[in-house]
């Protein structure tokens, strides 16, 4: 599961967990599980950011091709 | 018939020749106020130019109207360029306009105002129609010229701020003839391919003419009809184009558009650690609360309290036991007394006691004798006294009445 989660979903889930843990009604057992999940998700998010590989392309007649803008 | 008589046609044709040969009349600028303006279904425009004293008929053929950047209106003071000629069938000379500009403010300005007012009235700028710009786009389309500073600025800013999203440049002409159509085509192409979350559409700074494509209706409509949110990024801070008004978000420059399109990863990391802090704090608070609750429960059930309760119960039990003991011994005492009374009574009834008083019990053949009828004269009987037995013989029987019946 940890392999497939997208950055956006990981961040969304992380926000959800924070909201749940700010709710005093949450069961302690569940809170511990949520906390562990939160730690993992934050690591996944940061990994996404640190290892991001951006693709820059230009649309041509034969489809998208790599694009490097001209320098002045 | 006089020899110098001319036909009507000949007069008009002659005059036409005269006027058309005139250097001044073949290319002239005329200033005047438009009246009786009529845009015919054929596409030609008919109007009268006038000043305070005089009028001049004028026509602009369809082919020339395409170059117009504004729509002529009655009352507008214009500078019209063209040639004067004669319309032979009508016998009228008129101005054949090939170029028309508003006097004072420029044609582009008027066109801009006219289109802006019309699109605004048609709801193209309405806030309800504006779409939200995605916060975490996966791919951004850049509709602009693939050469020049704008595309480079946009790519640089996005790469620096948010390398998590891909960028695809949709090349388009951004100035000159056909630019507006090309921009509109690129925007609809982005929508057709549909893998981008945001469109940045624009170009770097330039003159009003250079930026003109972004003031055209076809571009406004393409932006309005785009399902993907559009950020406009045309020229400099002070340039406001029609595209800016229609776009879901207006950026003052291409670089600014890139900044508005993506959050910076520094901010994002800060945000993530903020969420983490919330999680930590939430957990800590939850645990603290539970400890507090536990402590307060422990305070209520103190050991001393338990002992006190125990001792009280113990004392109660002791007192009950004592009561029971008292009751039992009282009962026993009573019973003992009753018993001695009963024993005394029993004693009184004992034959031994009776014999002690001087009575005897008579037995014949080991059977007690209660009546003289049980005995015959001559029988041997046994007399039991208090201290022994006597064996004797009955010599005589005599009936007696001891008590009245």
* Domain housing B157: 137-262
pLDDT digits (tens, 9 = 90+) for B178-230: 999 999 999 999 999 999 999 999 999 888 788 889 999 999 999 999 999 99
Q: Are residues B155 and B236 in the same domain?
A: yes
Task: Please compute the mean of the pLDDT values over residues A16-41 and round it to a whole number.
Answer: 84
Q: What's the pLDDT score for residue B106?
A: 65
Confidence class of residue A1 from pLDDT cuts 50, 70 and 90?
Answer: very low
What parts of chain B have a pLDDT lower than 70? Answer: 1-2, 104-107, 301-302, 404-405
B226 CB-near residues (< 8 Å, 6+ apart): B187, B188, B190, B191, B199
Using an 8 Å Cβ cutoff, are B261 and B229 in contact?
no
Q: Does A10 touch chain B (CB under 8 A)?
A: no
Q: What's the pLDDT score for residue A2?
A: 45
DSSP-assigned beta bridge partners for residue B380: B393
Closest residue, chain A, to B154 (C-alpha):
A69
Q: Is residue B277 part of a domain?
A: no
Using an 8 Å Cβ cutoff, are B133 and B232 in contact?
no
Structural domain count of chain A: 1
Shortest CA distance to B261 belongs to which of B160, B378, B118, B162? B162
Q: Are residues B51 and B143 in the same domain?
A: no
Rounded Cα–Cα distance for residues B60 and B95 (Å): 8
The distance from CA A16 to its chain's CA centroid, rounded to whole angstroms, is 13
Q: Is residue B383 part of a domain?
A: yes
Q: Are residues B258 and B142 in the same domain?
A: yes
How many angstroms away from the CA of A2 is the closest CA of chain B?
A: 17
Q: Is residue B343 part of a domain?
A: no
Rounded Cα–Cα distance for residues B210 and B174 (Å): 8
Q: Are residues B15 and B80 in the same domain?
A: yes
Q: What's the pLDDT score for residue B109?
A: 76
> B265-300 and A28-50 are packed helices; what angle lies between their axes, rounded to 10 degrees?
170
Rounded Cα–Cα distance for residues B157 and B251 (Å): 14
Which of helix, strand or coil describes residue B397? coil
Q: What is the DSSP string of B41-83?
A: TTS-EEEEEE-SS-EEEEEE-HHHHTT-SS---TT-EEEEEEE
Structural domain count of chain B: 3
Q: Is residue A26 part of a domain?
A: yes
Q: What is the CATH number of the domain that holds B240?
A: 3.40.50.2300
B125 CB-near residues (< 8 Å, 6+ apart): B119, B245, B246
Closest Cβ–Cβ partner in A21, A52, A69 for B163? A52
Chain B contact set for A53 (CB, 8 A): 163
* Domain housing A39: 7-66
Q: Are residues B22 and B64 in the same domain?
A: yes
Q: What is the CATH number of the domain that holds B95?
A: 2.40.50.140
- Note the ipTM here: 0.85
Q: Is residue B85 part of a domain?
A: yes
Q: Are residues B256 and B144 in the same domain?
A: yes
The distance from CA B68 to its chain's CA centroid, rounded to whole angstroms, is 50
A-B contacts (CB, under 8 Å): 106
Task: Please compute the mean of the pLDDT values over residues A12-34 and round it to a whole number.
Answer: 83
Q: Is residue A57 part of a domain?
A: yes
Q: Is residue A40 part of a domain?
A: yes
Closest residue, chain A, to B291 (C-alpha):
A28
């Amino acid at each position: 599961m940890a392999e497939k989660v997208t950055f956006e979903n990981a961040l969304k889930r992380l926000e959800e967990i924070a909201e749940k843990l700010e709710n005093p009604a949450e069961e302690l057992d569940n809170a511990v599980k949520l906390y562990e999940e939160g730690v993992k998700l934050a690591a996944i998010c940061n990994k996404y950011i640190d290892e991001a590989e951006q693709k820059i392309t230009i649309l041509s007649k034969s489809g998208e091709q790599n694009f490097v803008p001209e320098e002045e | 018939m006089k020899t110098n008589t001319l036909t009507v046609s000949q007069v008009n044709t002659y005059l036409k020749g005269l006027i058309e040969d005139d250097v001044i009349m073949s290319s002239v600028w005329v200033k005047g106020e438009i009246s009786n303006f009529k845009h015919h279904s054929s596409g030609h425009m008919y109007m009268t130019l006038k000043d305070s004293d005089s009028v001049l008929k004028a026509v602009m053929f369809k082919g020339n109207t395409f170059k117009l950047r504004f729509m002529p209106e009655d009352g507008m003071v214009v500078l019209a360029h063209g040639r004067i000629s004669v319309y032979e069938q009508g016998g009228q000379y008129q101005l054949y306009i090939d170029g028309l500009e508003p006097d004072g403010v420029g044609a582009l300005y008027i066109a801009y105002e006219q289109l802006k007012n019309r699109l605004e009235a048609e709801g193209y700028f309405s806030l309800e129609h504006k779409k939200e710009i995605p916060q975490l786009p996966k791919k951004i389309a850049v509709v602009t010229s693939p050469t020049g500073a704008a595309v480079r600025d946009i790519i640089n800013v996005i790469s620096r701020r948010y390398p998590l999203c891909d960028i695809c440049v949709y090349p388009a002409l951004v100035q000159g003839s056909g630019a507006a159509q090309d921009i509109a085509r690129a925007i609809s192409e982005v929508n057709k391919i549909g893998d981008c979350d945001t469109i940045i559409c624009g170009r770097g700074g330039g003159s009003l003419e250079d930026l003109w494509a972004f003031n055209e209706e076809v571009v406004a409509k393409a932006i309005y009809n785009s399902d993907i949110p559009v950020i406009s990024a045309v020229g400099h801070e002070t340039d406001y184009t029609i595209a800016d008004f229609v776009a879901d978000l207006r950026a003052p420059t291409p670089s600014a558009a890139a900044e508005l399109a993506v959050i910076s990863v520094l901010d994002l990391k800060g945000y993530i650690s903020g969420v983490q802090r919330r999680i930590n704090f939430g957990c800590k608070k939850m645990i603290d609360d539970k400890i507090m609750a536990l402590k307060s429960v422990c305070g209520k059930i103190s050991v001393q309290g338990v002992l006190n309760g125990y001792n009280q119960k113990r004392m109660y039990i002791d007192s009950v036991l004592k009561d029971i003991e008292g009751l039992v011994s009282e009962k026993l005492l009573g019973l003992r007394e009753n018993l001695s009374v009963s024993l005394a009574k029993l004693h009184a009834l004992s034959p031994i006691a009776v014999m002690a008083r001087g009575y005897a019990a008579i037995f014949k053949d080991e059977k007690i004798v209660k009546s003289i009828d049980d005995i015959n004269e001559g029988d041997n009987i046994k007399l039991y006294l208090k201290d022994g037995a006597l064996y004797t013989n009955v010599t005589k029987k005599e009936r007696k009445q001891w008590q009245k019946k």
